[in-house]
Structure 1
Amino acid sequence: MAHVERSMDQQGSAYSLFQTAIMLEGRVRARTEELTGLMHSLERSNTALVAAKEEAETANRSKTRFLAAASHDLLQPLNAARLSASALADMPLTPEALAISGQIERGLQTIEDLIKTLLDISKLDAGVVRPAIRPLRLSDLLAGIAASFQRTAEAKGLRLHVRGRDCVVASDPVMLGRIVQNLVSNALRYTASGGVLIAVRRRGGAVRIEVIDTGCGISPAERALVFEEFYRGEAETLDSEPGLGLGLSIVQRMAATLAHPLALASRSGHGTRVSLTVPLSPAPPEAEARVGPVATRLTGAKILVVENDPATADALARLLRNWEAEVVVFRDLPGVKAAGDLAPDLLILDYHLDNGACGLAVAEHFRSAAGVLPPVIVTTADHGAEIAAEVAALGWELVHKPTRPAQLRALLTALLARTAFSSSPAAC
């Protein structure tokens, strides 16, 4: 009897184990199916992520191309408007009319800054900006920036100083200058009393450029937002001329492109310090040729303008005539050829003409016809590096639209004075 009971117990245990095995096998099968489903879901998600990434990159490239094309079309009428506003300001006007002219000029400047900044952000995000790193004397760069903001600081009753040892750093001078300019501009905007200090401190094989202000400071909640596009901060309404909210966004992107670490420290009500770490350069900076002072009158200068946009051509001609220059205007090379013998003292050529023509062909026409080419200024609303390199290789001057009248006048007088000096008997 005991033997039978033991046998039945063993059978019961075996059956129980069999049921347990079946149950475990079912759970394993269910878990396997669940994991297989999850793996398929992850594969689909990964495929969707790859497709989304490719779509985003394509959209980003399309955005860059669109902004480049749109900026060219927008800068053309803006260029004509700025030239016309400058010509208007040169005329005899009542004080009220002069004030309105100044308001127009400031408004056009704001539009220009916005378009250019949006285009810069697009290029930086697309990774198409390639910095030109070279040795750069920091004292020259910072002194120029401080001088450009000195009047703004004095108008607000603020002190603006540069302090620190002179160093030679390795960076892109244009991008580094833009970073420091934006930091100083931002510091002055948010500082009501005290001042702004641009400090240079050596740190091993690098230097730290610090822009320190005694302004309102940045609250902890805002510090993660100040580098975002169009964020202006809580204190922006205290300034009579609010910014675009893009300065620090450009700073962050350019610093990342240059691989210059950027840091921010601030205390609400006490001020802000933004620092940029730049590597020292083992090589000395290249010597730059210095241009002496030149005359500022264009009386009697014969200037030939080739510009396909009628509004821009009319505004530029009016401005040059206000400066007492003799101006002839053409839309294209056939018009220049049809005019017969021309002996201009200087050429101002738009790069992009109608029907895909290039303004550089006009200069080559004068070179081949006369054997001597007068000074050439090439204007364009295209800020691409290719055009800049092409014009530089030819030894001509490039002016980006919208044209700054003061900059154009200084360039004209310098080129005409240089030509007159080189052609005089005393120069032989």
Structure 2
Amino acid sequence: MAHVERSMDQRGSAYSLFQTAIMLEGRVRTRTEELTGLMRRLERSNEALVAAKEEAETANRSKTRFLAAASHDLLQPLNAARLSLSALGDLALPAEARTIAGQVERGLQTIENLIKTLLDISKLDAGIVRPEPRPVRLADLLEDLADSFKPFAERKGLRLAVRCGEATVTSDAMLLHRILQNLVSNAVRYTGRGGVVLAARPRAGAVRVDVIDTGCGIGPDERDLVFDEFYRGGSGRGSAEEPGLGLGLSIVRRMAHALDHPLALASRPGHGTRVSLTLPLSRIPAVPAPPAPPATKLSGARVLIVENDASTADALARLLHNWDAQVAAHRDLGSVRAAAEAGVEAPDILILDYHLDDGACGLDTAAYLRDRCGADLPVIVTTADHTPEIEARVVAIGAELVRKPIKPAQLRALLTHMLA
């Protein structure tokens, strides 16, 4: 009997073990199926993330191309308007007409700044802008900024001072100028009384540049927001005379990041704000800028223009006539070739638009006339396209590049220098 009972117990234990094994096998199978399903969902999620990333990058590239094309089309009529205004300014006008012309000029400048800023933001976000660090003499840069902003500061009754020793830093001069220009512009705009100081102080192998104002200040809850796009602060900031676009500090942050220059902000509401940029010291001295050539009459100089936009060509021709130049304006290479074959005297200098009708390029005109004249004619190429490929092509033929909208004073100085 005991033997039978032991046998029955062993059989019961074996059956229990069998049932346990079946149950465990079922659990393992269930867990395996759950893990397999989870892995498949993760794979699908990763594929979706990759697709979303590629779609976002494509959209970003498309946005950059769209803004570049749109800015080119927008800057063309703006360029014609500014050239016409400059030609108008050379005429004998009554005081009221000059005042109105100045107001129009300021409005056009605001439009130009907005277009260029939007394009800059797009390029920085797309990683197209590549800084070119070089030695920069800080005193020259700060003095130049102070000189350009002093009229605005004086109009508001503000003091604008520079405190800078003989320091040379390593940075991209153009991007650094844009950063500090935006900071000084903000400081002047948001300061009602007192003044603005541009100060450069050595800091252990670096230089800290401070833009300090005695304005309304920025509250703790706004300090992270002021670097966002289109944020213009509370109702107590800014002025009706010079409304801000809310893009200046956004550009500053992006450019400082691209240059790897630490940016810091300190402020006390009611007392003022200090924005600081830390720059690495340069061991190589900066090359001094050559003196600007004097702006004189271009008496008798033969200038050939190739420009497919009729309003721009007309405005540019009027401006050059006011400077006592002889001007011949053409729309394309075919017109230039016909004039040359008709025996028209060779020009002294060329002003060529890069993008012409039907995909033609202004550089083809330069090549044709240089070959026909057997001389290396000086060439100025104008364009509203800021892509580096175009700049490289212009530099490769030894021409000077002028971005649209053309600044008349810059063009006049360049013409005088190239014809000297």
TM-score, with normalisation over the residues of structure 2? Answer: 0.89
Paired residues of 2:80 and 2:316 also in contact (CA < 8 A)? yes
Greater shift in the superposed pair: 301-310 or 167-176: 301-310
Describe the SS at the equivalent of 2:366.
Answer: helix
Q: 2:407 maps to which residue?
A: 404
The amino acid across from 1:342 in the alignment is: E
Q: Any gaps of 5 or more consecutive residues in structure 2? A: none
Paired residues of 1:163 and 1:197 also in contact (CA < 8 A)? yes
How many residue pairs get aligned? The number is 416
Paired residues of 1:199 and 1:211 also in contact (CA < 8 A)? yes
Shift, 1:379, TM fit: 1.0
Q: 1:348 maps to which residue?
A: 351
- What are the residue-to-residue correspondences of 1:12-27 with 2, within 5 Å? none
Q: 2:205 maps to which residue?
A: 205
Q: Does 1:275 align with 2:276?
A: yes
- What are the residue-to-residue correspondences of 1:232-311 with 2, within 5 Å? 232-234=232-234, 235-292=236-293, 294-311=294-311
- What are the residue-to-residue correspondences of 1:376-387 with 2, within 5 Å? 376-387=379-390
The amino acid across from 1:175 in the alignment is: L
The amino acid across from 2:391 in the alignment is: A
Paired residues of 1:363 and 1:373 also in contact (CA < 8 A)? no
Among 393, 415, 418, which residue is 2:418 paired with? Answer: 415
Tell me the alpha carbon deviations over residues 291-322 of structure 1, each in whole angstroms, 9 at most, x when there is no partner. Answer: 45x24323433222111111111111122223
Tell me the alpha carbon deviations over residues 258-293 of structure 1, each in whole angstroms, 9 at most, x when there is no partner. Answer: 11111112222221111111111222223443345x
Q: 2:113 maps to which residue?
A: 113
Q: 2:394 maps to which residue?
A: 391
Greater shift in the superposed pair: 117-126 or 322-331: 322-331
Mapped to 2, the partners of 1:8 and 1:188 lie a distance apart of 99
Paired residues of 1:189 and 1:239 also in contact (CA < 8 A)? no
Mapped to 1, the partners of 2:219 and 2:169 lie a distance apart of 33
Mapped to 2, the partners of 1:246 and 1:32 lie a distance apart of 54
Mapped to 1, the partners of 2:151 and 2:12 lie a distance apart of 100
The amino acid across from 1:57 in the alignment is: E
Mapped to 1, the partners of 2:116 and 2:397 lie a distance apart of 26
Mapped to 1, the partners of 2:23 and 2:273 lie a distance apart of 67
Paired residues of 1:146 and 1:162 also in contact (CA < 8 A)? yes
Tell me the alpha carbon deviations over residues 49-79 of structure 1, each in whole angstroms, 9 at most, x when there is no partner. Answer: 1110111011111111111122212211221
Describe the SS at the equivalent of 2:220.
Answer: coil
Q: 1:423 maps to which residue?
A: none
Q: Which 4+ residue blocks in structure 1 deviate beyond 6 angstroms?
A: 1-25
Describe the SS at the equivalent of 2:86.
Answer: helix
Distance change >3 Å, CA 12–CA 410, structure 1 → 2: same
Shift, 1:21, TM fit: 7.2
Q: 1:42 maps to which residue?
A: 42
Among 339, 359, 363, which residue is 1:360 paired with? Answer: 363
The amino acid across from 1:266 in the alignment is: S
Paired residues of 2:305 and 2:329 also in contact (CA < 8 A)? yes
Mapped to 2, the partners of 1:365 and 1:34 lie a distance apart of 73
Q: 2:54 maps to which residue?
A: 54
Q: Any gaps of 5 or more consecutive residues in structure 1? A: 419-428
Paired residues of 1:263 and 1:274 also in contact (CA < 8 A)? yes
- What are the residue-to-residue correspondences of 1:183-202 with 2, within 5 Å? 183-202=183-202
Describe the SS at the equivalent of 1:238.
Answer: coil
Shift, 1:17, TM fit: 8.2
Distance change >3 Å, CA 240–CA 23, structure 1 → 2: farther
Mapped to 2, the partners of 1:179 and 1:363 lie a distance apart of 36
Shift, 1:257, TM fit: 0.9
Mapped to 2, the partners of 1:146 and 1:34 lie a distance apart of 68
Q: 1:180 maps to which residue?
A: 180
The amino acid across from 1:46 in the alignment is: N
Q: 2:333 maps to which residue?
A: 333
TM-score, with normalisation over the residues of structure 1? Answer: 0.88
Mapped to 2, the partners of 1:127 and 1:405 lie a distance apart of 32
Describe the SS at the equivalent of 1:277.
Answer: strand
